[in-house]
Each structure stands twice: as C-alpha cells, then as structure tokens.
Amino acid sequence: MKINKKGDKLLSIYWFAILVIVATGVVIMVNVYYGSPYDVRQVESGILANHVANCIYFGGEVNPSLISSNGIFKEDFRDHFMNYCTLNFSVEGEFTQIPYYLEINFFKGIDSPTSVFNISEGNQNLKSDCGVDVQDKSKLSKCTSNSFFMKLNSNDVYFVKILAVVSKVNENTN
C-alpha cells in the first residue's frame, strides 16, 4: 500500500489555515464585545441617591441625628453628613476634581417654595450639567433626582428632594 504524503501535507496546511481563521474570528468577536467601556454613571448616581435617602429616612424612621426631639434640624448633621451617611468622595491625585455632587433639600410640605434645611456636598460645578439639552450627552455628568415624603413623630411632613450627580467622564467614555 502506497501512502500519499503530498495529500497529507496539503490537508495539514488547510487545517492550519482553518484554525487561524477561527481563532482570529474569536479574538475579533471578543474584542468587539468587550472593547468599549460600560457607562454606569446613571446607575451609580441612582445608587448614591438611594443610599442618601436610606440614610435620612429608613423604614419609616427619621435618622435621629438629623432632627432633634422638638423637630429642629441639627446643624451637626449637615457638618458631618459624609460621616453619618458613610460616604467618601475623596479622589487620588493632586489635580483631580471630585466626581460627585449631592444636594438634599427639605421642604415643609409639598407646596413650600423654599427649603427649610439643605445639605450639599461635593463638586458644585457638576450641577450645571443637569438639565442641559444637547445632542451628545456622553461627555456630561449623569444626574438622578429622588424625592420622598418624610413624616416625623410630631405628624409634621417634609418633602425631601435629593439630587445626585456623578461625573467620571474619563473613566466611562472614550
């Protein structure tokens, strides 16, 4: 019996070519799928707003550090808000700006035009990105508004508005 060595060599070259084509296709598909970063800023700002809401009012109970027993807001809560709500906006780097901004306003009832107590933390320049109507919003900060009613033991009701803004443009966009 005669073995056809020329055919085996030719078949080996084709198998090698097919393996290279399949491997290249897999690499290209993985690169296309995972190549662009995920923009999670909107989700992150929503989580931040919900965390602050839970810090202020959780399970129908007002944070005891926020309001005194006679219904007066404590300035100490505003001064140490980041510690009370276990938040940390510090960023590494000498020239890096804080990529977060939080604003909480407390209104006596829903119809009140002015807030009776407010808290703001972070980079106030990010607030200007909220409500801007431009075509390409990928380079703007992402804003989330959250609001709820807060009932005290004295039957006073406050309307609480939370604005959470997350920038992190360099980390989330190309």
- In this prediction, residue 173 carries a pLDDT of 57
Nearest alpha-carbon partner for 156 in 70, 59, 65, 54: 70
Q: Are residues 9 and 86 in the same domain?
A: no
Q: Are residues 120 and 136 in the same domain?
A: yes
Q: Are residues 99 and 114 in the same domain?
A: yes
Q: Are residues 94 and 123 in the same domain?
A: yes
Q: Are residues 28 and 59 in the same domain?
A: no
Q: Are residues 19 and 72 in the same domain?
A: no
Whole domain around residue 82: which residue ranges? 41-172
Q: How far apart are alpha carbons 53 and 85 in whole angstroms? A: 10
- In this prediction, residue 119 carries a pLDDT of 95
The whole-number mean pLDDT for each consecutive block of 10 residues of the chain, a chain of 174 residues, reads: 63 86 95 80 92 91 88 91 91 77 91 91 90 78 92 88 88 60
Counted domains in the chain = 2
Q: Are residues 88 and 133 in the same domain?
A: yes
- In this prediction, residue 118 carries a pLDDT of 94
Q: Are residues 22 and 91 in the same domain?
A: no
Q: Are residues 137 and 160 in the same domain?
A: yes
For residue 112, give the DSSP letter: -
Please enumerate in sequence order all residues whose Cβ is within 8 A of that of 147, keeping only pairs 6 or more positions apart, or say none.
Answer: 159, 160, 161, 162
- In this prediction, residue 84 carries a pLDDT of 93
CB 120 within 8 A of CB 102: yes
Q: For the whole model, what pTM was predicted?
A: 0.76
Q: Are residues 25 and 78 in the same domain?
A: no
pLDDT per residue as tens digits for the range 73-111: 999 999 999 999 999 988 777 657 889 999 999 999 778
Q: Are residues 58 and 25 in the same domain?
A: no
- In this prediction, residue 48 carries a pLDDT of 95
Q: Are residues 9 and 78 in the same domain?
A: no
Helix, coil or strand: residue 77: helix
